[in-house]
Amino acid sequence: AQYEALAARNLQAAEDWYRARCARLHERAARSQEAVRASRREAGECRRQLQARLVEMESLRGAHQSLERQLQELEERHNAEAAGLQDTIGQLEDDLRNTKNEMARHLREYQDLLNVKMALDIEIAAYRKLLEGEENLFNMGSVGLPSLNSLPSPTYSFQPRSFSSST
């Protein structure tokens, strides 16, 4: 009876221990399952974030490539415009050089014409003096002719002009 009571107590203690142990294991398993579910949820959220980041990265990569193409097109257009402007500048410089040469030629022609004019003015002045001298001789020689004396005697005066030029 003592053995049976001791065996029943031991059996009861073993069952209590087994039940307590099973309860703890079930509790631990439940917590582990909850942790596994939370980990799975977290892993799923991480996958979704990763997919979102991959999609965003692909979108940004496409935008980057588009911007690179636009930049390259702008650079090509800018280079073409710059080359066109350089050509225009070259043409304008040639036109300016030609215009300066033409102006210099016109100035030389003007100087030549001015020199001819001055020489002609000097020659005209010399002829006037000669004419005035002949008129004076004519007037002195024809004192007896009153009709000729009544004409006023023309006087010519030469006033040379001075021209200055700058090149």
**Backbone CA torsion sign across 139, 141, 143, 145:** negative
Q: CA-CA distance, 3 to 18, in Å (whole number)?
A: 21
H or E segment to which residue 82 belongs: helix 2-141
pLDDT in tens, 94-129: 999 999 999 999 999 999 999 999 999 999 999 999
Where do the structural domains in the chain lie, given as residue ranges?
A: 1-96
Joined tokens for residue 22: 């099973």
pLDDT in tens, 8-26: 888 898 999 999 999 999 9
Reported pTM: 0.44
Q: CA-CA distance, 33 to 42, in Å (whole number)?
A: 14
Residue 158 has pLDDT above 50, yes or no: no
Q: CA-CA distance, 18 to 26, in Å (whole number)?
A: 12
